[in-house]
Amino acid sequence: MTGDDVFLPRDLPIWEAARPYLDVRNNDEHTVIAYALAKMLLAEIPEADASTVLPAVILHDVGWKRIDPDLLLLAIGRNPTRKDLVFEHEKHSVEIAREILERLRPEGVDIDAVLAIIDGHDTTKEARSPEDAVLKDADKGWRSTPHGMRTIAGWYEVPLSEIVLMLEERSNALMLTPAGRALAEGQTAAVKTELMLERYLGRGPEFTTVISEGGKPW
């Protein structure tokens, strides 16, 4: 990666401590991208405290590690049958996050404030504070990123068009801030339009593979 790192120096130890809990259901990938989205949203929502939001983004899903992996996909999706697991993962996340934060004691971080927005980040829909709104929008905004769409489509083995429909019908409406809504709707519109290119061009997009780092320089 070129340019600045994703994680702030203060948050790197938190990431390293959380990472062993995030190796389920692509939560590690999700967390890195959600953290980057949170930084972008914080630039647009200066009243939200970054020292609360960013550690919470890293730690909000660590509790899924304690849920039976065979049950994970039953807790989410269009017709979830185990919504209780969403509540359970929040409680586990609070417990694990408390242990990590009390051990690391990151400078300038209000541990209770971080735990307060991790608790209920999925099961409460309203924004309880600016920090809560940014965490929720970064978390759910990941779904509308190209990475999020590909990942969710892979979980359920469905085409991207179905994920676009899900975002348009359900997920994007849950965004709580104007910046978050613009992020989600803009990304959804871009991917939806890419899927329609063949209608207008007689072919799909020319470039469909991503060159890894170390490829040819510009």
For residue 211, what pLDDT is reported? 67
Range of the domain at 192: 9-200
Could you tell me if residue 177 is inside a domain?
yes
Handedness of CA 75, 57, 138, 108 (dihedral sign): positive
CA atoms within 13 A of residue 98's CA, in its CB half-sphere: 11
User: Has residue 105 got a pLDDT over 90?
Assistant: yes
DSSP 8-state code for residue 14:
H
CA atoms of 156 and 128, how far apart (whole Å): 32
Could you tell me if residue 129 is inside a domain?
yes
For residue 25, what pLDDT is reported? 87
In contact, 140 and 61? CB cutoff 8 Å = no
Give me the torsion for CA of 193, 195, 201, 205, rounded to 10°. Answer: 110
Could you tell me if residue 43 is inside a domain?
yes
Please give the biggest Cα pair distance in the chain: 58
Q: Provide CB contacts within 8 A for 90, sequence distance 6+.
A: 63, 118, 119, 120, 121, 122, 123
Give residue-wise pLDDT tens across range 135-180: 999 999 999 999 999 999 998 899 999 999 999 999 999 999 999 9
Give residue-wise pLDDT tens across range 50-86: 999 999 999 999 998 998 887 777 767 667 767 778 8
Could you tell me if residue 172 is inside a domain?
yes
Give residue-wise pLDDT tens across range 86-97: 888 999 999 999
End-to-end CA distance of the chain: 15
Give me the torsion for CA of 12, 179, 161, 78, rounded to 10°. Answer: 80
CA atoms of 37 and 26, how far apart (whole Å): 17
Count of domains observed in the chain:
1
Could you tell me if residue 218 is inside a domain?
no
CATH number of the domain residue 142 falls in: 1.10.3210.10
Could you tell me if residue 216 is inside a domain?
no
For residue 145, give the nearest of 46, 64, 32 by alpha carbon: 32
Structure-block tokens of residue 50: 């970054």
Could you tell me if residue 217 is inside a domain?
no
Percentage, residues of the chain above pLDDT 70 = 92
Could you tell me if residue 98 is inside a domain?
yes
For residue 180, what pLDDT is reported? 97
For residue 173, what pLDDT is reported? 95
In contact, 99 and 10? CB cutoff 8 Å = no
